[in-house]
């Protein structure tokens, strides 16, 4: 009985300490919004009181990472006929807007369509959690990445003030990614654009603004108009794969250097072209690829070689139809 009582007391003390720490951190956040950004203290305090802590989000974040799916399984989620057909329909409906974005930002229409298709199935799956609930939960109750999510909460309050939005209304993913393009608040403030000229940046229901915003995101991250994204390659020996895969996941190596390390590539790019080495697991073995700057730019949306390849192949499927 004494042991049980001790455990209960210890648990209550731990809860008290954590709750106090969360309260202190939240008070500091409120003070920052007041002193640095001129918010009314009562307004921010009441707003955070109305925001809810979502235990379901904390449960998701606490899950141990599962084993990553091999490429041949991963691609089935995004390269099905339903998504391709929906992408073709979306592309036809917004053809003029996509063409205008391509002219202004230099990003191919099919790449923009593929991003929207993979992220939210062209706006059908945008998330049902209030952004402020998600960000409050992670900013004050998820110590592992609390600093990051407090920054995003700060950006969220700023953007809702800038866009004259009710902070309690926008919805998104459990991590606070918003709208059809799934922008985090900091990305919204930096890259979202008013592409239809109505005075608002609406990435929740306005596909024209979404198209312009995605294109601007890619341009600002270094998209190179007219250049390759990724091309198939081979290796000279099995050991070459080990050497090449040990390199950083970034196109900072010349093709000449990669070839000296065992890459076999017969493309038209000069040996001075910067590239990166990628391997993907297929049903019959490993396939090898050379990724260029534009491939890397896709990974700025999601740092995953599988994600970037899915975007590329979906864009080809949509363009070829």
Active-site positions read 119
Between CA 113 and CA 15 the distance in angstroms is: 47
CA dist 108 and 218 (Å) reads 10
CA distance 43 to 41: 5
Alpha-carbon torsion (67, 58, 180, 192), positive or negative: negative
Q: Is 232 helix (H, G, I), strand (E, B) or coil?
A: strand
DSSP 14-82: HHHHHHHHHHHHHHHHHHHHHHHH---HHHHHHHHHHS---HHHHHHHHSPPPPPPPHHHHGGGTSSHH
- Lookup result for tokens 């008013």: 194
Q: How far apart are the first and last CA of the chain?
A: 72
Who contacts 301 (Cβ-Cβ below 8 Å, separation ≥6)? 115, 119, 217, 307, 311
Pair type for strands 285-291 and 253-254: unpaired
Cβ within 8 Å of residue 285, ≥6 positions away: none
């Amino acid at each position: 009985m004494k042991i049980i009582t001790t455990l209960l007391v210890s648990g209550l003390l731990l809860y008290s300490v954590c709750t106090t720490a969360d309260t202190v951190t939240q008070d500091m956040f409120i003070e920052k919004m007041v002193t640095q950004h001129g918010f009314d203290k009562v307004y921010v305090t009441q707003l955070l009181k109305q925001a809810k802590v979502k235990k379901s989000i904390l449960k998701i974040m606490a899950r141990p990472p599962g084993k990553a799916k091999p490429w041949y399984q991963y691609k089935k989620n995004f390269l099905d006929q339903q998504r391709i057909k929906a992408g073709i329909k979306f592309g036809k409906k917004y053809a003029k807007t996509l063409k205008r974005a391509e002219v202004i930002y230099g990003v191919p229409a099919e790449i923009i369509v593929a991003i929207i298709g993979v992220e939210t199935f062209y706006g059908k799956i945008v998330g049902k959690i209030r952004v402020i609930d998600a960000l409050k939960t992670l900013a004050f109750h998820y110590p592992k990445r609390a600093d990051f999510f407090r920054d995003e909460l700060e950006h969220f309050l700023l953007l809702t003030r800038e866009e004259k939005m009710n902070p309690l209304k926008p919805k998104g993913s459990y991590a606070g990614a918003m709208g059809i393009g799934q922008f985090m608040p900091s990305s919204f403030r930096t890259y979202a654009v008013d592409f239809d000229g109505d005075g608002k940046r609406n990435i929740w229901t306005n596909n024209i603004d979404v198209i312009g915003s995605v294109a601007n995101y890619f341009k600002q991250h270094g998209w190179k108009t007219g250049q390759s994204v990724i091309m198939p390659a081979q290796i000279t020996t099995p050991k070459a794969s080990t050497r090449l895969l040990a390199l950083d996941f970034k196109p900072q190596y010349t093709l000449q250097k990669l070839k000296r390390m065992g890459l076999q590539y017969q493309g038209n790019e000069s040996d001075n072209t910067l590239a990166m080495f990628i391997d993907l697991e297929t049903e019959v073995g490993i396939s090898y690829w050379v990724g260029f700057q534009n491939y890397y730019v896709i990974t700025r949306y999601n740092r995953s070689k599988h994600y970037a390849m899915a975007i590329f192949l979906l864009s080809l499927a949509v363009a070829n139809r």
